[in-house]
A = this chain, B = another copy of it.
Amino acid sequence: MNHRSDMFVRNCWYCAGWDYHLTQGKTSLLARRIANEPLVLYRKPNGAVVAMEDRCCHRQAPLHLGQKEGDALRCMYHGMKFGPDGICIEIPGQEKIPPQARVRTFPVVERDNWIWVWMGDPAKADPALIPFAIGPSDKNWNIKTSQMSVRANHRLEIANLMDLSHLTWIHRKTLGGNPAWVTAKIKRTPLERGVNSDFWMYSTPAPAFAQHLFPPAMLFDIHMNVDVTLPCNFILHFEAWSAGTATEGPSNGQLILDSYSCQAVTPVDQDNVEYYYSWGSSVATDLPGLSDMLREGVDAAFLEDKAMLEAQHRNVKERPDGNRLSIVHDAGPAMMLRILDQFLAAESESP
């Protein structure tokens, strides 16, 4: 039973990718590792997605080398055929099918163009626990999508996403670059499985990657509202106004950009995460090329994070008990990591 490390919350929705990663094509079988479980995903003819353990119950052959047959998936080593519920419905050359001839399946929900898989007890798989997001098919937004692999533990990712002061430093050449990120007064509110962070920055310069679009001295009022939820989702509502005179509450400038960046960071195993992310403008504030530039900006910034987090991960792996000085910006990360630890503890105590 305990082949899994206990670092992953099981009763949780994990993003397995963008919906367009999985087609009705004959060979469209997606092998994914989520929370250290190898999965195979495919679509039934009605479009619904099935997620199965990627190991045949016979001799652990990989099912992602199998063949779709209607609603079913056939292992192409010895031909065992499994229904979408994981129950074996054919053993070629053998009449009797024993009841243990089955592979585990996982609840799946598609929402906002993401495929969500529940890795724990199916009875607890409540779709209401899937975080709110804006997907690329939403007609009111022009959302552009992307993907990145990072060789780092998800706890480092959580810490990264819960502390935006790092935009001043890591992202000085892209998304950040001004010191306002360090001093921003953030209002944090607990969510059922996460934390909401809300804050304003007034009269700040444009981020580095967008400064060429505006007069050099132009300043902005910026509003960030972020939901971070388990396992490691980051849903950002980002708005920018021309700088007004307000110093608290909503800006009284002119709305320039209303946008969403939705990021599902999926723990693959203890050393890897997979980012499925997006950025895009509301249709009302969009311009030709603008949302593509936003997506390009977040691509560039995530490469900066990737270099930092992968090296940090190697350092932490080498010295797990290395010195850890706590500073003011650890409040956000600590809040979210405590929630993760509470869920892990609760699951390890339940039978």
Residues of B within 8 A of A316 (CB): 59-60
Q: Is the CB of A328 within 8 A of B60?
A: no
Q: Does A5 contact B (CB under 8 A)?
A: no
Per-residue B-contact encoding for A47-63, CB less than 8 Å = 1, 0 else: 00000001101111110
Contact A328:B94 (CB < 8 A) given known A65-B308, A312-B62: yes
Query: Which of A159-167, A206-214, A227-235, A260-268 lies on the face that meets chain B?
Result: A159-167
Whole-angstrom distance from the CB of A326 to the nearest CB of chain B?
Answer: 8
Per-residue B-contact encoding for A319-340, CB less than 8 Å = 1, 0 else: 1011111111100000000000
Question: Interface centre among A38, A60, A311, by most B CB within 10 Å?
Answer: A60
Whole-angstrom distance from the CB of A189 to the nearest CB of chain B?
Answer: 21
Q: Is the CB of B65 within 8 A of A307?
A: yes
Q: Does A132 contact B (CB under 8 A)?
A: no
Contact A327:B80 (CB < 8 A) given known A92-B168, A322-B60: yes
Contact A165:B92 (CB < 8 A) given known A79-B182, A159-B59, A319-B60: yes
Task: Identify 28 residue pairs between A and B in the complex whose beta-carbon atoms are under 8 Å apart, listed by A's number.
Answer: A3-B318, A38-B315, A55-B315, A55-B319, A57-B323, A57-B325, A59-B156, A59-B324, A60-B322, A60-B324, A61-B308, A61-B312, A61-B315, A62-B308, A62-B315, A64-B311, A65-B308, A75-B169, A76-B170, A76-B308, A78-B163, A80-B327, A93-B183, A93-B329, A94-B328, A94-B329, A98-B325, A100-B323
- On chain A, the number of residues with a Cβ less than 8 Å from chain B's Cβ atoms is 55
Residues of B within 8 A of A98 (CB): 325
Q: Does A45 contact B (CB under 8 A)?
A: no
* 8 shortest interchain CB distances as A-B pairs: A62-B311, A60-B315, A94-B328, A93-B182, A76-B169, A92-B182, A79-B169, A57-B325
Q: Is the CB of B328 within 8 A of A77?
A: no
Tell me the complex Cα distance, A230–B75, Å: 29
Contact A59:B312 (CB < 8 A) given known A77-B170, A323-B100: yes
A163 (CB) vs chain B CBs: closest residue: B78
Q: Does A179 contact B (CB under 8 A)?
A: yes
Q: Is the CB of A165 within 8 A of B79?
A: yes
Tell me the complex Cα distance, A159–B58, Å: 12
Residues of B within 8 A of A326 (CB): 58
Q: Is the CB of B77 within 8 A of A166?
A: yes
Q: Is the CB of B91 within 8 A of A328?
A: yes
Q: Does A290 contact B (CB under 8 A)?
A: no
A171 (CB) vs chain B CBs: closest residue: B76
Whole-angstrom distance from the CB of A34 to the nearest CB of chain B?
Answer: 14
Whole-angstrom distance from the CB of A177 to the nearest CB of chain B?
Answer: 12
Q: Is the CB of B3 within 8 A of A78?
A: no
Whole-angstrom distance from the CB of A335 to the nearest CB of chain B?
Answer: 16
Tell me the complex Cα distance, A321–B156, Å: 32
Residues of B within 8 A of A307 (CB): 65
Q: Is the CB of A179 within 8 A of B92?
A: yes
Per-residue B-contact encoding for A285-320, CB less than 8 Å = 1, 0 else: 000000000000000000000011001100110110
Q: Is the CB of A58 within 8 A of B311?
A: no
Q: Does A101 contact B (CB under 8 A)?
A: yes
